[in-house]
């Protein structure tokens, strides 16, 4: 990450997107790593954890594509989840 971000706004948007996507099955959205410890620098990544109850095989397969922590941008994942959830609801 090359620019300073507002972590509170970023997390609020992530929580909103995860609530929309998983509804009442969303058990936890949290922050960990250097940002949780208060040791983050401007270029620190964001280590978010999301716990969901009762993932379907389709949801698990979708999320497995993002299993490598260095393989995606958090905004990309949130946008992909939002688009995927909208296609499932239709």
d(CA 21, CA 43): 29
Higher pLDDT, 67 or 19: 19
| DSSP secondary structure letter of residue 53 | S
**Which residue, among 73, 70, 75, has the nearest Cα to 9 in the 3D structure?**
75
Summarize the chain as % helix, strand, coil (round to 5): 50, 15, 35
Can you list the alpha helix ranges (DSSP code H) found in 7-73?
7-22, 34-37, 57-64
| DSSP secondary structure letter of residue 47 | E
Assigned token pair, 27: 């058990």
Write the pLDDT tens digit of every residue in 31-83.
888 888 989 888 888 888 888 899 888 777 777 766 555 555 666 766 776 67
Write the pLDDT tens digit of every residue in 67-80.
555 555 666 766 77
Q: Report pLDDT for 90.
A: 46
């Amino acid at each position: 990450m090359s620019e300073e971000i507002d972590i509170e706004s970023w997390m609020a948007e992530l929580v909103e997107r995860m609530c929309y996507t998983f509804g009442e099955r969303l058990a936890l959205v949290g922050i960990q790593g250097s940002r949780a410890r208060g040791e983050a620098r401007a270029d620190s990544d964001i280590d978010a954890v999301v716990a969901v109850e009762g993932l379907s095989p389709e949801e698990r397969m979708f999320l497995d594509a993002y299993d490598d922590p260095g393989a995606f941008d958090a905004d990309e994942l949130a946008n992909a989840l939002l688009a995927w959830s909208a296609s499932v609801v239709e």
